[in-house]
Amino acid sequence: MSPDDKEEASALPEDPAAEAESDAEVSGSEEHEADPNPPAEEDDAPVVEYEKEGEELAEFDLETQIEEFRAALEEDPDNCIHHYNLAEALEELEEREEALAEYQRALECDTEQAYHAIIHFGVGNLIFHQLLSGIQSVVVKSSIGLHSAHKPGDSIVDVYDEDYTIPIEHFQNAMTFLPQLKADDELVDYISKEAPGQLANIYYKWGSDLIDKSRQIAKYGSEVQDVKKALKLIKKTLEIDPSHSQANLMIKYAKKMLAQGWKSFDEYGFEAKDIEGSG
């Protein structure tokens, strides 16, 4: 699911062989419960939470559901959907490390890859949400390095490629395995729409983070290279989503920076270095 906006989709089928005949079962959590390879019992049918505009999701006790998922795993430890449901519930409680371990276990147990698309989608979202925590969420939403006055502490000084390439790989895998997904058309359509959108957002964030980093005095010597790399990444966003308004705006700013130059700031927010433009 996307960080800001989810849409309602129906549940995965309780029986992988009966995907077209499955009915949606919606709960107030972001759990998807289904059986991996053998036919599932009705209680094992996955539940997917997607929120439509103007609708409220039913409240429920996450901790109770987590206990139920753990109990189900004691009886059937190799059931990929039990692991997946537990992962989503743990993620709701912000137990992200344990949630990630359960997602990975779900992938291992999904030997027929019937649910790889939705599991990879879940992993990609979890990692992207982690990336959007703290100051980085502020930067990606408002492009603070370009659109507002520089503020000490409100900046990114380190950008590690793997923080972006890992969720990108999971969303790409979600699309790769989508034709094999044992789910109804509504859920398939949801992932086919949301996975590319998330890819576009990650490329944009990666680029905008590099631009913000280029304005910090903590790192010398790579400012111009960072902005040039950012331009390439943000162009990938526009290849996926040409209407991405922030990416279109950021492209203009990045080109202006390279042409006219810009200033870098120290940890206190004072101007500390001039980067020359190419003219």
> How are beta strands 271-275 and 262-265 bridged, if at all?
antiparallel
The arithmetic mean of pLDDT across residues 139-158, rounded, is: 53
Using 50, 70 and 90 to split pLDDT, how confident is the model at 11? very low
Which of helix, strand or coil describes residue 8?
Answer: coil
> Tens digit of pLDDT for each residue in 212-266?
888 887 666 789 999 999 999 999 999 999 999 999 999 999 999 999 998 888 7
What DSSP string runs through 20-82? GGPPP---SS------SSSPPPGGG------PPTT--PPP--HHHHHHHHHHHHHH-TT-HHH
Residue 153 is predicted with a pLDDT of: 57
Return the higher-pLDDT residue of 279 and 227: 227
> For the chain, what is the mean pLDDT?
77
6 close to 50: Cβ distance less than 8 angstroms? yes
184 close to 19: Cβ distance less than 8 angstroms? yes
Residue 250 is predicted with a pLDDT of: 93
> Tens digit of pLDDT for each residue in 79-91?
999 999 999 999 9
d(CA 228, CA 211): 9
Other beta carbons within 10 angstroms of residue 197's beta carbon come to 15
> Tens digit of pLDDT for each residue in 169-184?
999 999 999 999 998 9
pTM over 0.75: no
The domain limits of the chain are 1-114, 115-279
- Above pLDDT 90, what percent of the chain? 52
Using 50, 70 and 90 to split pLDDT, how confident is the model at 30? very low
Residue 114 is predicted with a pLDDT of: 96
| Highest mean pLDDT: which range of 3-7, 74-78, 212-216 | 74-78
Other beta carbons within 10 angstroms of residue 20's beta carbon come to 9
Q: Which fold has domain 1-114?
A: 1.25.40
